[in-house]
Chains A and B, each alone.
Chain A
Amino acid sequence: DTAVSQTPKYLVTQMGNDKSIKCEQNLGHDTMYWYKQDSKKFLKIMFSYNNKELIINETVPNRFSPKSPDKAHLNLHINSLELGDSAVYFCASSQDQTAPLYGYTFGSGTRLTVV
């Protein structure tokens, strides 16, 4: 059983389209995250949810809208896709909210290519 699963694994789409990425974790964790890894391989946090509540919203364009229907799911919807949105998007989860003691468990990533 995959602990943190993301779909789709690959996404190729045209500029201006709207797309969604889904994430689910079966670890019973309370907190979930979206990270973006760009072409320079730098991992940056975008959003964090704790038990369905948004707790971190980094400086991300409002074309990106996360949604957490329950604590096991965190989805990411992106409107009006731009070339610069091309990256690998990783979902992650952690057991605790403050100063995570055990690190994060990552999903396998969604490679988004905007053409």
Chain B
Amino acid sequence: RKEVEQDPGPFNVPEGATVAFNCTYSNSASQSFFWYRQDCRKEPKLLMSVYSSGNEDGRFTAQLNRASQYISLLIRDSKLSDSATYLCVVDSGGYNKLIFGAGTRLAVHP
């Protein structure tokens, strides 16, 4: 089983749509969780941290379910500029190592 698993997509959605990405992780000792965004031929950039209580940043909402070892990202009112690959990221359980999922590609079209 991969340490972090994501649906690779692509998700093709129209502008204004709501889209949700899911991610599962295998290490129950993991403590830090993130969503990163990576544009084509660019570096990954931190989108948001994910907290147990759930957190929201504008149109983006992240949820964590520790019991199911599951993380989600919801994007509301999609914009063309949201087109990118979204990486689910989990720490390795205290070893100062972040494990990256393979990413979910989102394409927002007019």
Which of B44, B46, B93 interacts with A43 by CB under 8 Å?
B44
C-alpha spacing A23/B31, complex, angstroms: 28
* Interface members, chain B 90-105 (any A CB < 8 Å): 91, 93-100, 102-103
Which of B41, B49, B85, B96 interacts with A103 by CB under 8 Å?
B49
A97-B103 contact in complex given A102-B49, A106-B43, C-beta closer than 8 Å: no
Nearest chain-B residue to A101 (Cβ)?
A: B32
| CB proximity of A32 to chain B, nearest CB, Å | 11
Which of A55, A108, A111 interacts with B96 by CB under 8 Å?
A55
B residues with a Cβ closer than 8 A to A are: 31-32, 34, 36, 41-46, 49, 85, 87, 89, 91, 93-100, 102-103
Nearest chain-A residue to B91 (Cβ)?
A: A99
C-alpha spacing A104/B97, complex, angstroms: 10
The 6 closest A-B pairs by CB, nearest first: A106-B43, A43-B100, A99-B31, A103-B46, A97-B96, A103-B34
C-alpha spacing A47/B31, complex, angstroms: 21
C-alpha spacing A29/B7, complex, angstroms: 33
Of the listed residues A43, A50, A100, the one surrounded by the most CB atoms of chain B closer than 10 A to its CB is A43
